Amino acid sequence: MSCFICDKHRGISNQPPGGYFYEDKHWKVCHFPADQSVLGRIVLESKRHFLDFAEMTEEEAASYGNVIKLLYAALKQVTEAERVYQLITIDGTPHFHVHFIPRGRDGKTRGLEYLRQELSCNEEDAIQLVNKLQVILNLSR
């Protein structure tokens, strides 16, 4: 059975803008496709193919919180976001992945209304943001 995220990890399917900017034993992180997202929307993807928290190993579960803490701090610093929304649905692609979506201070929409908007960003801007996140995350390790 083919999996979009597993194929992406192997370099078979479309690669994210700027590539993967964080990777450890269990996780890979990239920017969501620019034409489908607000600037700074990043995705944490499990390296191992599994569906949800019930299927995580103890080691994956233990590392999850630490990775999220790093990502929130770096994303808030780079985007100056007031909030970072976290979204897990796993409906479109049945492979564990989490979306992190920054929301600025000046936006009029919030919460679900903000998430429902059809937003996009420039690919060059996404790549620049990825480079900044990579620097911050490398310093955090």
| SS3 category, 107 | coil
Domain of residue 37: give its range. 4-140
Strand, coil or helix: 75: helix
Q: Is residue 140 predicted with pLDDT exceeding 80?
A: no
136: CATH: 3.30.428.10
Which stretches of the chain are DSSP H helices?
4-9, 58-79, 111-116, 123-140
Distance CA 64, CA 26 (A): 9
The closest alpha carbon to 131, from 83, 74, 84, belongs to 74
Distances (CA, A) of 19 to 29, 37, 69, 95, 128: 9, 16, 21, 19, 11
* Inter-helix orientation angle 123-140/58-79, to 10°: 120
Q: By the 8 A CB rule, do 37 and 121 touch?
A: yes
Is the pTM higher than 0.85? The answer reads yes
Give tens-digit pLDDT for 129-139: 999 999 999 88
Q: How many domains does the chain have?
A: 1
Task: Give the three-class secondary structure for 98.
Answer: strand
Please, which pLDDT band fits residue 72 given cuts at 50, 70 and 90?
Answer: very high
Q: Mean pLDDT across the stretch 27-38?
A: 94
pLDDT digits (tens, 9 = 90+) for 48-59: 999 999 999 999
- Quick one: pLDDT at residue 141? 62
Mean pLDDT for the chain overall: 93
